[in-house]
C-alpha cells in the first residue's frame, strides 16, 4: 500500500492546506501588530519627543475607527466579497505604515502624520477583523470551526507575549521608525497567504431587505433592552476603557518614570500577552469549577483589583509588580471576553447575532480611543504614576453592571434548550413573535 505524501497528515492536523495558510498569515500578522504596539508609541516618545497627552492622541487615533465605523462595518462587509477585502486591508495597512520610516529617513515625519497613519491603519483593521470572522467558515468545514477558532485565538495571544519584547529590542537596534518595517512585512505575508487560498468563498445567501440604519437600530435595541447582554456590554466597555487608558501611558511610564530601556520595557509589556495566553488556558477549568456566570462575575471584580499593582512599579524587584498586575488584568479580561461571547452566542437568535455582535463591539471597543485620550490627559495633569493610580482605582467600578443584572443570581448560563425561557426576552423579540418572524 502506498504511503501518503509526508506533508498531508501534518496539513490535515492543521485543518487542511487553506486553513494552514490562513492561520500562518494571521499569526505572522499578529506578531507584526504586536511589534507595532510598542514601536508606534516609541516613534512619538523617542523620535518626535511627544508629550504624554500627544502619545495618548496617537493611541486613540488607532482605536477611533471602532467608534466611527463599528456599527456599519458589519453591514458593509456583508455586501462585499470577503477575500479581496481582506487582501486590500492588508495592503493598505502595509503601505500606510511604510510611510512612517520613509518620512523619518527624509526628516519630514510629524506628529500629525503619525496620528493620520494610526487612524488609517485602524480603519483597515476594523474592516479586516469583521470580514475575517465571516470569511473563516468559507475556509474551514463546520466540524473544524471550533478548533480553527481556538488555534487562531491561541496564536494571537502568543504573539502578544513575544511581539512587544521583539519590538523593544528592534527599537534599540535600528530605531523605532525602522522597526515598523517588521509589521509592513507581516501584512504583506498575510496578503500573500490569503491570495494562495484555493477554496472558493461561500456567498452570503441571506440578504436583509432593511436599510443599513434599520438593521443597526435593531441590533442596538436588542442589546439595550436585554437584561443580561446590556450589563455585560457595559462591563466589557469598562474593562476596555480603563485598559486603553493604562496602555496609552504605559510606555511613557516605564521609560520616563521607571527609567527603563526600550528593550526592558518591551519585556514588561509582553506580560500583557502572557496574561492573555494564561486566561485562554484556564477559562474552561475556571468556568467548570465556579460556573460560567459566577466565573464572569469573579474575573470582572478581581482583574481591576490586580491592576492596582501597576502604579506601584519601581526599578529592580519592583518590576514584578507591573508584570503581575498586567498578567492579572489581561488574563481576566480574556476570561471575561470568552465567557461573555459564549453567552451572547447562546442567548441571541441567529438572525440577530451579527448585528448584536457589532453593537457590543461598538460599545466595548468604541470606548478605546476615549480611554486613550483620558489616559494621556491624566498623565499630563497628574504625572504618569498619579494618572495610573486614578485609572486603576476608578476601574474598580467594572463589576457593578454585572452585579446589578440577573447574572448575579446564576451559577451557569442557560443551556441552549432552556435559554429562551430562562433569559428575559426583549421588546424586539416579542414584536417578531407577533409578526410571525
Q: Which cell is 83 given?
A: 477575500
100 DSSP 8-state letter: H
What mean pLDDT do residues 148-164 have? 69
Distance separating alpha carbons of residues 208 and 206, to the nearest angstrom = 6
> What are phi and psi for residue 394, nearest 5 degrees?
-65, -30
More confident residue, 166 or 12: 166
pLDDT of 60 higher than 60: yes
**Percentage of the chain modeled with pLDDT above 90:** 17
pLDDT the model gives residue 416: 43
Whether 136 shows a pLDDT value over 80: the answer reads: no
Domains 14-202 and 212-432 share a fold: yes
CB atoms within 10 A of CB 4: 9
Percentages (nearest 5) of helix, strand, coil residues in the chain:
85, 0, 15
Ordered by start, the domain boundaries in the chain are 14-202, 212-432
CB 164 within 8 Å of CB 275: no
Identify the DSSP state of 48: S
CATH number of 212-432: 1.20.1250.20
Cα of first residue to Cα of last residue in the chain, in angstroms, is 56
Mean pLDDT in the chain? 78
Could you please report the per-residue DSSP string of 274-305? HHHHHHHHHHHHHHHHH-HHHHHHHHHHHHHH
pLDDT tens-digit profile of 180-192?
Answer: 998 899 999 999 9
3-state secondary structure 80-97: CCHHHHHHHHHHHHHHHH
Q: How many helices (H) and strands (E) does the chain have?
A: 18, 0
Split at pLDDT 50, 70, 90, the class of 311 is very high
% pLDDT > 70, the chain: 81
Which single residue is written with the C-alpha cell 438572525?
351
57-61, 181-185, 288-292, 431-435 — which is least confidently predicted? 431-435
Question: What's the CA gap between 290 and 184, in Å, rounded?
Answer: 43
From residue 103, give the alpha-carbon distance in Å to each of 43, 55, 107, 186, 357. 12, 19, 6, 20, 38
| pLDDT band with cut points at 50, 70 and 90 for residue 278 | confident
pLDDT digits (tens, 9 = 90+) for 358-415: 788 788 887 877 888 899 889 888 999 999 999 999 999 988 888 888 777 777 766 5
Residue 206 pLDDT: 52
CATH topology of domain 14-202: Growth Hormone; Chain: A; (1.20.1250)
Which has the closest alpha carbon to 335: 303, 381, 372? 303
Residue from 396, 388, 400 nearest 309 by CA: 388
Mean pLDDT of 209-229: 78
Amino acid at each position: 500500500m502506498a504511503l501518503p505524501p509526508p506533508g498531508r497528515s501534518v496539513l490535515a492536523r492543521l485543518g487542511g492546506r487553506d486553513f494552514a495558510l490562513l492561520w500562518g498569515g494571521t499569526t505572522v500578522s499578529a506578531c507584526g501588530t504586536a511589534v507595532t504596539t510598542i514601536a508606534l508609541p516609541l516613534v512619538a516618545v523617542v523620535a518626535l519627543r511627544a508629550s504624554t497627552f500627544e502619545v495618548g492622541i496617537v493611541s486613540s487615533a488607532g482605536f477611533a475607527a471602532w467608534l466611527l465605523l463599528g456599527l456599519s462595518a458589519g453591514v458593509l462587509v456583508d455586501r462585499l466579497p470577503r477575500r479581496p477585502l481582506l487582501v486590500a486591508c492588508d495592503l493598505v495597512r502595509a503601505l500606510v505604515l511604510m510611510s512612517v520610516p520613509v518620512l523619518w529617513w527624509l526628516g519630514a515625519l510629524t506628529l500629525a502624520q503619525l496620528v493620520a497613519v494610526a487612524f488609517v491603519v485602524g480603519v483597515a483593521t476594523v474592516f479586516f477583523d469583521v470580514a475575517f470572522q465571516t470569511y473563516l467558515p468559507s475556509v474551514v468545514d463546520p466540524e473544524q470551526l471550533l478548533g480553527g477558532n481556538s488555534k487562531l485565538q491561541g496564536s494571537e495571544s502568543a504573539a502578544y507575549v513575544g511581539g512587544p519584547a521583539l519590538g523593544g529590542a528592534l527599537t534599540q537596534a535600528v530605531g523605532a521608525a525602522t522597526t515598523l518595517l517588521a509589521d509592513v512585512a507581516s501584512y504583506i505575508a498575510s496578503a500573500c497567504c490569503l491570495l494562495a487560498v484555493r477554496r472558493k468563498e461561500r456567498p452570503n445567501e441571506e440578504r436583509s431587505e432593511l436599510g443599513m440604519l434599520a438593521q443597526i437600530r435593531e441590533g442596538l435595541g436588542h442589546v439595550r433592552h436585554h437584561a443580561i447582554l446590556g450589563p455585560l456590554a457595559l462591563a466589557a466597555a469598562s474593562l476596555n476603557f480603563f485598559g486603553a487608558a493604562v496602555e496609552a501611558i504605559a510606555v511613557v511610564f516605564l521609560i520616563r518614570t521607571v527609567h527603563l530601556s526600550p528593550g526592558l520595557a518591551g519585556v514588561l509589556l509582553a506580560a500583557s500577552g502572557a496574561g492573555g495566553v494564561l486566561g485562554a488556558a484556564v477559562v474552561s477549568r475556571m468556568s467548570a469549577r465556579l460556573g460560567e456566570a459566577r466565573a464572569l462575575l469573579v474575573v470582572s471584580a478581581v482583574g481591576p483589583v490586580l491592576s492596582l499593582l501597576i502604579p506601584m512599579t519601581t526599578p529592580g524587584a519592583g518590576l514584578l509588580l507591573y508584570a503581575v498586575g498586567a498578567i492579572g488584568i489581561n488574563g481576566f479580561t480574556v476570561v471575561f471576553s470568552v465567557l461573555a461571547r459564549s453567552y451572547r452566542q447562546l442567548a441571541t437568535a441567529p438572525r440577530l447575532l451579527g448585528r448584536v455582535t457589532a453593537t457590543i463591539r461598538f460599545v466595548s471597543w468604541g470606548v478605546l480611543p476615549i480611554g486613550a485620550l483620558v489616559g494621556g490627559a491624566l498623565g499630563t495633569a497628574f504625572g504618569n504614576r498619579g494618572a495610573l493610580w486614578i485609572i486603576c482605582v476608578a476601574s474598580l467600578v467594572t463589576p457593578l453592571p454585572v452585579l446589578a443584572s440577573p447574572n448575579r443570581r446564576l451559577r451557569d448560563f442557560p443551556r441552549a434548550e432552556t435559554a429562551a425561557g430562562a433569559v428575559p426576552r426583549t421588546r424586539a423579540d416579542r414584536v417578531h413573535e407577533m409578526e410571525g418572524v
